[in-house]
Each structure stands twice: as C-alpha cells, then as structure tokens.
Amino acid sequence: MSKTSKDMRKVEMLQNVRQTTNLRRVLLPIVVFLMIASCAPRDERATAVTNSEPLRAVATFFPVADIVRQVGGNHVSVETILPPGGELHSFAPTAKQMKLLQHADVVFALGLEAEPFLKTMLRGLGRRHPRVVELAEGCWKLPALAEHEHLHAHEEAHHEELVDPHVWLSLRNAMRLAQNARDTLVALDPAHADDYQRNANRLITQLRDLRHILTERAKAWKQKKFIAAHGAYRYLAEEAGLEQVAVFEPLPGVEPSARWLRDLMDTARRERVQVIFAAPPASSRLVEAVAADLGVPVFPLDPMEQTWNHTEESYQQRMMRNINALDRAMRR
C-alpha cells in the first residue's frame, strides 16, 4: 500500500471517531429578542458622557475588551459579550448578553465580519441600540484565504475583496486598535481626555516593545514554515517573517475532509514543515494524530479570541507567551 493510501486510511479512521458538532449557527429565538427590545429605553443614547459615572462599554470579545479596558482605566466599565470558553465564530447570544447591550453607552467591536453574532443582537434591539464602534478601522489587512473566498462568494457578492479578520494578532494593528479606542473615548468623555491619552500612550509603548522583541528573536529562527490547526495566525506570522503553508480547517469550525487532510500532509512533506501550531489548552486528536504521522511536534499558540476564566492576563501577557512559543518552536 502506498504512503498516500495509508494517509487516506488513517484520516478516514480518525474522522469516524472524532466528535463532530455544528457550532456555526446562531439559534437564539427571535421572539426573545423582540421581548427584550420592547423593554429597551426609549431615549436615544447621548453622544457624550455628562455625569461622573463610569462610561458603560460593552466589547465583543477579548482583544477588543482588554484594549478598551486598558485605555479607559477607571473611567470606563467594560463588559464582554463572548463568555469564557465561547467560540467567536459560533457563539449564540442569550438574553443575558442582550441586556448588556441595552444598558451600554457604547459597543466596541472589531468589525471585518469577525463577530457574526453582533448583527443578530443589534437587529433584535431595533433602532434603539447603542452606538457601535469598529476598532479595526485603519488596520493593515491580509486577503482572506482562497478557500474562504470561494466558499463564501455567493454570500458576499456585494462586498469587495474579503479580508482575514484576525487583525488583532498583528502588534502593529493592536496599536491602531488602541488609538481608535482612545479617540472614541475622548469624543464620548472629553472631561477625561488626558487620562485616555496617557493610558493609550503607555499601552502603545508596550505593544511597540513587544513588536521589537518579536522581530529581534525571529532573526535567530531556523524554521520559517508551519501548519496551523486553524487560520488565525497569518498576521502574527507576517510580522515575524514566517509562512503558514497549510491549515487544518477550511473555514473556522468546519471539519476538514479526507482529501483536504491528504493534501495537507502532502504539503507538509513537500515543504519540509517541522512545526504544527494549535490553540491551547490542548490540540485535537486529529491534529495530534497527523503530527505523529508526520513526525513533527505540536506547539500551543494562542489565537487570543477567548476570555480565559482562570486568569486575567492582559493582551500583552498573552502575546508575550505567543512570542515565547514561537521562539521555542522555530529556533530548533
């Protein structure tokens, strides 16, 4: 039996035993949205804060929330929609998250179609929803993977070229997120403009230092190519001078076919890939099995989408852990 046939047999066996769940649909009944929306305040949101209470901000997921929290300091109260352990691409909002939006002065999102649940939530609240600010405005962007463009061409026919939404894994883009958060908070709460400027400057300095550490360490890395469990890491790879040559998931949350995995393994051998990256805390059985067959290690690399319920680490701390993981994996 040829090596390719053996790979196919192994892939098919693994897929038969792997649990499959479809987490891509938002199933919250519209009747719940309408009930909540009917209780929403009738007054339009003010464009600026006029009292001494902290600004009530709601953020969609971790990188947005943490950056707004650091820039806002004591003047902003930040709640996060995506709960600990929630999956960005498949999260189904509940009445609890809807109430967060009802009482918010402003909602901070990334944009770039990264939060599919947010449009559904806003639609449920009707025209009385709070102002929404997309922090990815002005970020540098990578085009979406070819597979993503092909599979979603019929859905996005009215859009221009699709982009990879994982811009927060670029440290240069993280600086832009901080600047946009600062500008929004200054406009909403000019009385504390100096504090927002000071907090943003401190954060941007720390992000710039991290980017310097990344680029300096990358100069010593012998490995330049890797395979990813899913395609979140391209911005980080670009800034580190690395190349993601293949990805396990055709789309976030979509199971790879046997043919897809066979092509992935062929690509890994042809490109002599020596590293696979997967999101912590543990990679899947499929990733581990393919890694064992290829004879390469799996290293954890945090996509930084989820809020972890066991820690309150900042964006900078989690990014530093990623830099250390890249250093261990690519220096070999």
Judge whether 65 and 59 are in contact, CB under 8 Å.
Answer: yes
Which residue has better confidence, 185 or 9? 185
CATH 3.50.50.60 fits 214-330, yes or no: no
Mean pLDDT, range 207-212, rounded to an integer: 98
Q: What percent of the chain has pLDDT over 90?
A: 64
CA quadruple 14, 16, 17, 22: dihedral positive or negative?
positive
d(Cα 278, Cα 133) in Å, to the nearest integer? 31
Q: Which residues contact 212 (CB under 8 A, 6 or more apart)?
A: none
Q: Domain 30-141+165-210 is of which CATH architecture? A: 3-Layer(aba) Sandwich (3.40)
Which pLDDT score is estimated for 88? 87
Q: At what angle do helices 116-125 and 95-102 cross, to 10 degrees?
A: 70
Q: Which residues pair with 57 in a beta bridge?
A: 78, 106
- The alpha carbon of residue 298 and the mean position of all alpha carbons in its chain are separated, in whole angstroms, by 20
Element (H, E) at 55: strand 55-59
Judge whether 85 and 311 are in contact, CB under 8 Å.
Answer: no
d(Cα 213, Cα 200) in Å, to the nearest integer? 20
Same CATH fold assignment for domains 30-141+165-210 and 214-330: yes
92-111 pLDDT, tens digit each: 999 888 988 989 999 999 99
Which residue has better confidence, 182 or 31? 182
**Above 70 in pLDDT, residue 287?**
yes
Q: Which residues contact 87 (CB under 8 A, 6 or more apart)?
A: 23, 253, 305, 306
What is the DSSP secondary structure assignment for residue 41, as one 8-state letter? -
Q: What percent of the chain has pLDDT over 70?
A: 79
Q: What are the residue ranges spanned by the domains of the chain?
A: 30-141+165-210, 214-330
Mean pLDDT, range 193-218, rounded to an integer: 98
Least confident of 33-47, 107-121, 190-204, 305-319: 33-47
Backbone angles phi, psi at 214, to 5 degrees: -60, -50
Mean pLDDT over the full length of the chain:
84
